[in-house]
Amino acid sequence: MEPRLTVQLTLKAYKALLPVATGFVEKSALALGLDQKEALALTVATEEVFLYLCDISAPGTRVDIQCRSAGYCVQAGFHFEAAGFQMKAFNLTAVPSFEDDRAIRETGLLIASRLVDRFNLKHVGKRLFLTLIKDKAYPETSGLDLPAPVPIRRFSIRRPDGEEIKIAVRMIRQYCRDAIAPPSAGFPGKMADMFAIGEVDAALATDTAGRIGAVLFWTRDASDVLESFGPYVFHPESDPEMAVALLDRCMEEIARSGAVGLINRYPGTGLPPEYFESLGSLTLCRGDGTCTNVEASYRHLGEDKGMTVWAHADLIPFLEAQYQKLILPREIRQVTAEGEKRALFSVLSVEMDRFRHWTILRPLDYGEDHNKVLEDHVRMLEKEGFRAIFFEMDLKHAWQAHFTPGLLRNGFDPRLVLPHGGRGDLVVFQHRVDGQA
């Protein structure tokens, strides 16, 4: 397993130190696996963030910059005093403004947000931890010859190596075109990197000649609930027990992690229904623009000791029905608005899959403009051709529950609950689109 390397720099928020900050991020990004183009983008984003911090911070304010390798991407994290930092420029819908010096400074943050693939924000006391994420550039699936799928009757289950991971991903794209795969399966090299650092694991079903009959992937993080996708069986006349054997191997492996459950949102071609309980379905789209309802499933693996979740009154009936169906011990606490002061601006992160026309909105901050921010994001994403628009709400955080009325007003419906899908349970909303279920 390849190590996840981290390097850190601590300096003061003085503009004279800008070359130190940008040089550190550029050299680190190159050393951690980005090519020149991606490293430059992360470096320019660092320049904009650091200059903004110098403008809004008291002289000599401490800034910690951390660069971390995650195999398929590099993360540049900034830890600093939160006072005066305006995250609204990170909204996809933000537009540059030159009305005054403050607006001009915030335009730098807008530039930074457009140069990276994703970002995250976490409050730690009075300080903020802003993470900018830049993915490695991977080539599209090459025209290499693939082994033709054959019906396999006798098989064994084993763990693949990196080259077999890439072959399996290419076979999914070639021979399982009707099945929906997660975005990470779009690039064989990316999946191989995720496998190498231990972020995902996999099992193959092969015959005595080593020919691949089926594959199953699953996550290997330290959360209470892990996630699998597949199994993908490459020939319809193969022994259907391959799918069962792959799932058995997966559950044997993750049982050692202490996980209490297993989620499957991408069932591949052969998910045995008797192994799982239905969570509901999402409408997902393929690269050719066609959409289909895909069922999400859940399996209990251990004792769920329960938790407290936060919800708006409009969402409580949906949650009660879901928790009763899954027999999950939950205490639902209702959030209220009682005149307390709110931030002025809301911030959403956006994860896009342009090939499949999907996008996922995730809340980073809640403010008085939440309804307009949601409306503007939906309008922009629909204009750019996204047909499946999702919103993920973590019920561990009470402030996120306040987005519920705005979501319902803007055409979102709660579709399913992912137990322990975030810090707490995750509710997935989907925007209604004409012609979709």
Asked if residues 235 and 151 have their Cβ atoms less than 8 Å apart, the reply is: yes
Confidence check: pLDDT of 315 > 70: yes
**At what angle are helices 162-175 and 188-196 packed, to 10 degrees?**
140
Question: How would residue 42 be classed by pLDDT, with cut points 50, 70 and 90?
Answer: very high
CA angle 235, 240, 246 (to 5 degrees): 95
pLDDT of residue 221: 75
Mean pLDDT of 178-198: 87
Confidence check: pLDDT of 98 > 70: no
Q: Rounded CA gap, 340 and 324, in Å? A: 33
- Strands ordered across the beta sheet of 426-431: 347-353, 358-365, 388-394, 426-431, 412-418
The pairing of strands 330-334 and 127-135 is: unpaired
Name the nearest CA neighbour of 127 among 188, 62, 173.
62
In the chain, % of residues over pLDDT 90:
59
Q: Rounded CA gap, 41 and 45, in Å? A: 6
CA angle 304, 310, 311 (to 5 degrees): 115
Confidence check: pLDDT of 220 > 90: no
Asked if residues 80 and 16 have their Cβ atoms less than 8 Å apart, the reply is: no
Cβ-Cβ contacts under 8 Å for 229 (sequence gap 6 or more): 181, 182, 185, 216, 217, 218, 264, 265, 266, 267, 268
Confidence check: pLDDT of 436 > 60: no
- Strands ordered across the beta sheet of 291-300: 156-158, 200-206, 212-219, 225-233, 261-266, 291-300, 277-285
**What's the full length of the chain, in residues?**
437
Phi, psi of 380 (to 5 degrees): -65, -45
The encoded tokens of residue 83 equal: 């006072």
CA angle 109, 57, 99 (to 5 degrees): 50
pTM, whole model, 2 decimals? 0.88
> How far is residue 260 from each of residues 263, 320, 332, measured CA to CA in Å?
10, 20, 20
Question: How would residue 426 be classed by pLDDT, with cut points 50, 70 and 90?
Answer: very high
pLDDT of residue 101: 67
Top-ranked range on mean pLDDT: pick from 262-276, 281-295, 403-417? 403-417
pLDDT of residue 437: 43
Q: Rounded CA gap, 305 and 302, in Å? A: 9
In the chain, % of residues over pLDDT 70:
95
In the DSSP assignment, the letter for residue 15 is G
pLDDT of residue 78: 95
Confidence check: pLDDT of 203 > 60: yes
